[in-house]
Every structure is written in structure tokens, then in C-alpha cells.
Chain A
């Protein structure tokens, strides 16, 4: 603990750390391997706190920074507790993992709050979420993250979400599907092989296309109903505007439905947009910001 700050060149390799711990604890070290890109030492619960203390105090290890602590639900095998510690001098990171005593019914793991004071709230959180007891902790109650009278441990795999019981999942796809044993079914979905968001997107795109029909086509339809003299105006932009406005008004006076009204409004807005664009093109001014969004 009194070493100079940076001594990265003295950092022990994973194998050296494992050998050092095995030397001292022998049977207490169950396994040492790289898991999820972190060197993980699996230990038994009786030596859990002692391993942590050695990691902190041994000058070659000097894991002086406590990073985090959390639980893992191992289903019928019970629960694991994982603590991640870090050495600010050597730059090593180490995960300690222990299978709790007591199986699923009363999982417990010794507290390491007297080694790392920062483990206090992490252990309380793990108690909140998994119901793992930490003998030696100054006080796990009251609940830290949930309401104080909360029943159950929400991060356990067998915890039921009451909202899900009252109301089925409203989405088009179930985010997680379970088989009979409660295991997650891994499924690689291709685009379009189930009625999913992609199909919804397609349907929405069709709808939008129908609603925002090209202005030219609308004008053509309208002018076909009008006098034949105006039929050739469909190609002309400026004249087309006039025809379009003229067709909107009679539709209004006929007692239009809400849909027709919306259609007319949309057409008017499209016209306004186009007129604005034309004006801008005519004046040849370099566009500022914001204007183009209108």
C-alpha cells in the first residue's frame, strides 16, 4: 500500500496471480480463468474474505481499488457473487467469484465490507435484488433501491413481473421466448420472416405514400374532371397551382368529410412549400439555416 504510484512494468500476469493465490489458499481456489475478458478467480465462500484481504494487502498484488460487486443467478445451482477489484499501481483487474452457500433457499456469502468499505452499498444492492445474505455486513436493511415493503427479489430469474401477468406483452414480438424448462430460446431472425417492425415499416411507408400522393398526379386527376381546356395545364407548374386551388374549393363547399379536409390541407401545404422553393430559386439567395425545414 505504500508503493510508488505507477509500476505497470511490475504487473503480474494472470498465471502468476493464480499461482500466488493457490500457494496460500490451495483448495480454496476452485478455478482461475479469463471469463468475459476479465481474469476471474473462483473461490469457495470460507476463504472469500481472506482472498480479498490478501489481494489488497499483498504488495505484489496491491488491488487497492474496489470496483463493483454483484450477484448472478445460476438457476438451480444457486447464486454467485462476483467482486471486481483493480490495482491502480499495476493496472491489473481481477474478478473474484464465489458460489453462495445455502442454495436457492437461503443464499449467503461472507461480507467483505471490512476489507473494502465501498462494498457496503453494493452488498445491500445485491441483497435487494437477489436476496443474498452477507454475514458480517453492518446492516442490509432497510431496502436500498426498492420500496421498503417490496416483496421478492426482482433480479432472480423466477421473479414474476406483475404487470406482465396482468397484461400480455403488447409488442409484435416477444423479446425473450422461453422453452418448457425456462431457458431462453436463441433465435436468429431474418428480415421479414415474422410480422415484425420491418413489416410495420413497410405498411407505414405504403400508407404514407398513399396519403402524400405526388402533387402532379393529383392535379391531373382534378383537371380531368374539369374543362378539357385546362387539361394541358397539368404539366405546367404555375398553372397547375391555379387548377389545384380551384378544385379544393368546391370540395369544401360540398360538405367534405374530415379526410377530404385533411387531404386539402395537405395539398395546400405542399403548394406553399413548392411556391416558397420557387421564390427561393428565383431570388438565388444562398439559404440560411432553419429556412429549409419549413
Chain B
């Protein structure tokens, strides 16, 4: 990244730079269970997150900016997630999609399931649900893009991360008929 992780960029340049970054998130889908189907639904024509600038099915982790862990992460699979995450170039972002990857979900007392992907890699956005609807993933993506727009790349490259966003944590989902 050259000089960008050494000095704080001037504000206009930072704005343009972050604007460009947030609308070209190459997405690496780590589909592990049924949530992956919702992820795929979010990528297809009805919901179509490409209109938000998320480009699905990156060729590999080395070409990806965004890792979406969707599904049940087992202890057996955890080293693979960690390894692929480490192969991704900085700056990289992680969305934890669904209850299983957030905290183990319904398998919280299983002998084989990791209690949340955040035990292995740092997470930027948690999307709750079992499974969450595709709209929830769009919400998560927009929350992440908002964060990218306002973040300092220098801080990010120095490894100083902001606290993760949990969708629906401050305002509980409304009970609507």
C-alpha cells in the first residue's frame, strides 16, 4: 500500500479513495451451511448485491477484500478459515452471517462446533438470524460500507480496528404484523 499506511491522507483524497474501496468489495464466500443459500440468494437477481458494489465469487482469497462466513463453523474447519483469512490482502473485512458463525447458534453445546467465527478471526459486522434473510445481508453490507467510507486507512493498516457492528443490537427489530 506504500505511503498510505504511513501517513494520514488529506481529507478529499481519503474521501475519494474510501468511496472507491467501498464500492468494489470483492467478496469471498465461505459458505458452510444453509446460510450460504441465503448468501447466494442475496447475490442473484432479486436482491442483487452487485448493485451495491459487492462482487461475489472472487477467484480466491488473494483477490478478495471481504470474507463472508455463512454457516456452521466446526473445529475441524476453523484452521481452514483462519488460513484463508490470512491469505487475504489488507485491508480486509469479515462479515459473520448467521447465528452459527456469530456464536455457534443452535449448536452451542456441540462437541464439534466452534462457538463463533470471532474465536478464530476478527469480525467487522455480525448479521443475526437463523438463517438471516438476504435483506439482512444487504443491511450488513451497507453498514460495512458506511464504516469503510469513514475509516482511516492508516489506522486500519496499523491493525487498529473499530468495535464490530452487530445489526439490530441497539434497536431491536420491530414486532410488525
Contact = CB atoms under 8 A, between A and B. Distances in A.
- The answer to whether A and B come from one shared complex is yes
A1 interface: no
Interface stretch (A77-85, A159-167, A178-186): A159-167
Contacts of A208: 175, 177
Contact of A147 (B75, B108, B115): B75
A163 B110 contact: yes
B7 to A, nearest CB: 43
Interface in A270-288: none
A75 to B, nearest CB: 19
Contacts of A207: 175
B109 to A, nearest CB: 4
Per DSSP, are chain B's interface residues mostly helix, strand or loop, or mixed?
Answer: loop
B76 interface: yes
Interface hub of A146, A167, A262 (most chain B Cβ within 10 A): A146
Given A208-B175, A211-B175, A212-B177, A159 B76 contact: no
Interface string B164-177: 00000000001111
B111 A146 contact: yes
A266 B175 CA distance: 10
Contacts of A212: 175, 177
Interface string A132-165: 0000000000000111001000100001011110
A119 B63 CA distance: 41
Contacts of A146: 75-76, 111-112
A90 to B, nearest CB: 38
Contact of A163 (B75, B109, B174): B109
Interface in B67-124: 75-76, 108-112, 115
Contact of B111 (A161, A169, A269): A161
Contacts of B175: 207-208, 211-212
A84 B142 CA distance: 52
A163 B177 CA distance: 37
A130 to B, nearest CB: 13
A53 B108 CA distance: 43
B109 A145 contact: no
B177 A159 contact: no
Nearest to B111: A154
A208 B176 CA distance: 9
A145 B174 CA distance: 41
A271 B132 CA distance: 29
Contact of A164 (B75, B76, B109, B115): B109
Interface in A253-277: 262, 266, 269
Given A161-B109, A163-B109, A147 B177 contact: no
Contacts of A162: 111
Nearest to B108: A163
Interface of A: 145-147, 150, 154, 159, 161-164, 167, 169, 207-208, 211-212, 262, 266, 269
20 contacts: A145-B76, A145-B112, A146-B76, A146-B111, A146-B112, A147-B75, A147-B76, A150-B75, A159-B111, A161-B109, A161-B111, A163-B108, A163-B109, A163-B110, A164-B109, A169-B109, A208-B177, A212-B175, A212-B177, A269-B176
Given A146-B111, A154-B112, A212-B177, 10 more contacts: A146-B75, A146-B76, A146-B112, A161-B110, A162-B111, A163-B109, A163-B115, A208-B175, A211-B175, A212-B175
Interface of B: 75-76, 108-112, 115, 174-177
